[in-house]
Structure 1
Amino acid sequence: MCANRQTDLYAVLGGNPSDSVQQLRHRYQQLALQYHPDRLRGRCPTEMESAVNKFLEVEAAWRILSDQDTRRQYDVERRAQELKQGGPEDSAVNLEDMIWDQEDCVFTHCCRCGGRFCISEEELEEETGRMEQNGEEDESGRMQRGEEEAGQQRGMLVCCDTCSLSVYVTWALNRKTRSETSHLR
């Protein structure tokens, strides 16, 4: 939706996500008047160029945030990007320290909010395979924890099912799956 995903459109308008359309319109109108090229005639070329760029940025932000559908889509993408960026990461948890929930067929770890961090066997296998194919960096671009020392660790960020916290779950590359260990019994 937005060409530069790093740009917060609310910040461009000097607002925040809780602002109403009317509040954002007021901020947009003030900024549009301040940076409109017609109001800045006679200024030096670099000032003019900077103002035009700011005006275009404000105009683009308003175009997205003024429409209910595009604003909702932007908010969803913005929230997803925030979650992908790894924050707030509560801690690192080893898969061996998580509890196997036989009923839901997932590994779980309790969050301090009372929710759960859950990861299924399939997600573990899929993530391990993806990491082996795509190299050593995870979604946020950082090297896998413990990879340099052990050369055998894999991991992924898992979000709480109730709050916004997340944990980094690590596991050994050579670990046995639940189905492999059930055959041994």
Structure 2
Amino acid sequence: MCEAEKKDLYAILGASPSDSVQQLRHRYQQLALQYHPDRLRGCTEAQSGLQKFLEVNAAWRILSDQNSRRQYDLQRRAQELQQDWPVDSTVCLEDMTWDKDECVYTYCCRCGGGFSVSEEEVEEESQSQHDDEEETVEGQHRGVVVCCDTCSLSVNITWPLHRKTPTLKCP
């Protein structure tokens, strides 16, 4: 997909996929008037307005044409369906058992198998997600999807971004 298609074009227009072309046109016209560079004063306001205007214009170009909209909707739907495995449930890291011998957090699956994630994996995921964001909010959660070691179920294991690490460190 091109750069404009990576963003949700409907969200850019403040619309939904079920909106008619007339509704999309109305939203486009409102936003185009709001963000048009000729209507904005000041250097920074004009620059940010120009960027938003270009996004709105690109979204309208794709969504106003029946064929390009259909193609976009198909790509959008295909992207929604691309998930490697279904997530059965969400488990908090605090609800898992810390196995100090194996240096992993474990959680029992309903099949009798188990889910496990190492402290190293948790730290790496926390660090990579922390690096991706410039500002983090206290209380924000992170997570990783883990598959059962016996069946096809998977869980999303979550934890607070600013969590305390276990007192027992592994070698």
| TM-score for both structures, normalised by structure 1 | 0.47
**Structure 1: where are the runs of 5+ without partners?**
97-141, 156-166, 169-185
User: 2:46 is matched with which residue?
Assistant: 48
Q: Supply the distance in 2 between the matched residues of 1:87 and 1:11 (Cα, whole angstroms).
A: 27
Q: Confirm or deny: 8 A CA contact 1:144 1:154 kept in the other structure.
A: no
* Shift, 1:90, TM fit: 4.0
Distance change >3 Å, CA 69–CA 51, structure 1 → 2: same
Q: What is the RMSD computed on CA atoms of the aligned residues?
A: 3.5
Deviation at 1:88, TM superposition (A): 7.0
Displacement of 1:20 in angstroms is 0.3
2:30 paired with 1:30: yes
What per-residue deviation string (whole Å, max 9, x for no partner) do you get for residues 101-155 of structure 1? xxxxxxxxxxxxxxxxxxxxxxxxxxxxxxxxxxxxxxxxx66535xxx6xx796
Indicate conservation of the 8 Å contact 2:4/2:58, yes or no: no
Q: Counterpart of 2:62?
A: 64
Residue 69 of structure 1 and its aligned partner are, at CA, apart by 0.7
Contact 2:37/2:50, CA 8 A, preserved across alignment: yes
SS at match of 1:89: coil
Query: Could you say what secondary structure the match of 1:11 adopts?
Result: helix
Matches within 5 A, 1:141-180: 145=147
Distance 1:16 1:71 in 2: 12
- State the AA in 2 paired with 1:74: Y
Q: What is the Cα deviation at residue 9 of structure 1?
A: 0.4
Give me the whole-angstrom Cα distance separating, in 2, the residues matched to 1:47 and 1:74: 31
- SS of the counterpart of 2:147? coil
Q: Is the 8 A contact 1:13 1:31 kept in 2?
A: yes
Q: Using the TM superposition, give the Cα deviation of residue 46 of structure 1 relative to its aligned residue in structure 2, in angstroms.
A: 0.9
Matches of 1:49 and 1:85, distance apart in 2 = 37
The residue number in structure 1 matching 2:17 is 17
Q: Which runs of 5+ in 2 are unaligned?
A: 90-108, 112-143, 155-171
Classify 1:54/1:2 alpha carbon distance in 2 versus 1 (closer, same or farther; 3 Å).
same
Aligned twin of 1:75: 73
Identity over aligned residues, as a percent?
64
| Count of residue correspondences | 106
Runs of 4+ in 1 over 4 A off after TM superposition: 85-88
Q: Partner residue of 1:109?
A: none
Structure 1 residue matching 2:3: 3-state secondary structure: coil
State the Cα deviation string for residues 39-67 of structure 1 (Å, max 9, x = none): 22xx2211110000000000000000000
